[in-house]
Amino acid sequence: MIVLKEKRRLIEMAQFKAAGIILKVYSDDHGIFGNADSPAHAHVFDSTGKKELGIVVLTSTPPQTPTAVQWFRTPNPSEGLAKAIVKFANTPNPVFKKFGGKYAETLWEVVVQQWFTFHGR
């Protein structure tokens, strides 16, 4: 987890890297889980973490196909980016095996858990 401080206000951010992209969850830009107008979401960055490529809606289950990826405030996302999201979402969580299945099974579930850690709704 990377913690950033901005204008005397603490903004937490968690980032997760896999499939050639980075997903970031912010404590100050989050939406509401299950809300269609302002959904829970994560910001998608390139592998350097410097260029934002889009914003993906967080859902209770990982998307299984590029057409299942839900976008938020992202005009014209590429199919390649949607494929990377699917690959990321279904990447096994390395901690899951180390601790005998006591934690989230996929990276998508880890991201969703972190969103709930920040926002509790």
User: Does residue 8 carry a pLDDT above 60?
Assistant: no
Give the separation between CA 88 and CA 90, rounded to whole angstroms.
Answer: 6
Predicted confidence band of residue 69 (pLDDT cuts 50, 70, 90): very high
Give me the pLDDT at residue 74, please: 96
Predicted pLDDT at 118: 86
Q: Over 90: is that where the pLDDT of 95 sits?
A: no
Collapsing DSSP to helix, strand or coil, 50 comes out as coil
Half-sphere exposure of 103 (CA within 13 A, CB side): 16
Give residues with Cβ within 8 angstroms of 75, minimum separation 6.
none
Whole-number average pLDDT of the chain: 89
pLDDT at 4: 55
42 has pLDDT over 60: yes
Taking the C-alpha atoms of residue 62 and residue 111, their distance in angstroms, rounded to an integer, is 10
pLDDT of residue 12: 79
Q: How far apart are CA 87 and CA 22, in angstroms?
A: 12
pLDDT at position 39 over 80: yes
Please compute the mean of the pLDDT values over residues 7-35 and round it to a whole number.
86
